[in-house]
Amino acid sequence: MKRKIIIRIIAAVLCVAAAVATLSSCFDINHLPAGVLQYSTVSPENHYRIDVYLCDGGATVDYAIKCTVVRFGDGASRNIYWQYHEEEATVVWIDDTHVEINGRRLDILKDQYDYRYDK
């Protein structure tokens, strides 16, 4: 009887851990669909590039825009912008590390915009 209870507890813990891992990866801005590159724009001092992607979710899901910043030199990149219900992005460089994407001002070194957390 003790063995069955222990097995059920372990199974429940594993199920919860799997659910948490799945949900956290689904809502992480670094785990987004690839999308189709629309255009790229380079920072004023040529240290960074922003790639703008259009992501098509399929027949039942609307388009979304994803923007990725790429650092020249080492090629390091990260997603900095994710917006659902958008098909176009206007990117305006303010200076070498600040950008405005569709009206949202971001510091490309530390900020990320994800519509799912915009309240």
pLDDT in tens, 30-70: 667 788 999 999 999 999 999 999 988 777 788 999 999 99
- Domains held by the chain: number: 2
Looking at the fold, whether 109 and 81 belong to one and the same domain comes out as yes
Looking at the fold, whether 61 and 26 belong to one and the same domain comes out as no
pTM of the entire predicted model: 0.74
Structure tokens at 18: 């799997």
The set of residues, in sequence order, having a beta carbon less than 8 Å from that of 34 and lying 6+ positions away, is 53, 55
Looking at the fold, whether 83 and 101 belong to one and the same domain comes out as yes
Radius of gyration of the chain (CA): 19
Instruction: Give tens-digit pLDDT for 29-39.
Output: 666 778 899 99
What is the SS3 assignment for 106? Answer: strand
Residue 17 structural domain: 1-31
Burial pattern 18-39, b for ≥16 Cβ within 10 A else e, equals: eeeeeeeeeeebeeeeebeeee
The confidence score (pLDDT) of residue 95 equals 95
Looking at the fold, whether 25 and 52 belong to one and the same domain comes out as no
Looking at the fold, whether 41 and 79 belong to one and the same domain comes out as yes
Mean pLDDT of 90-111: 95
Looking at the fold, whether 48 and 100 belong to one and the same domain comes out as yes
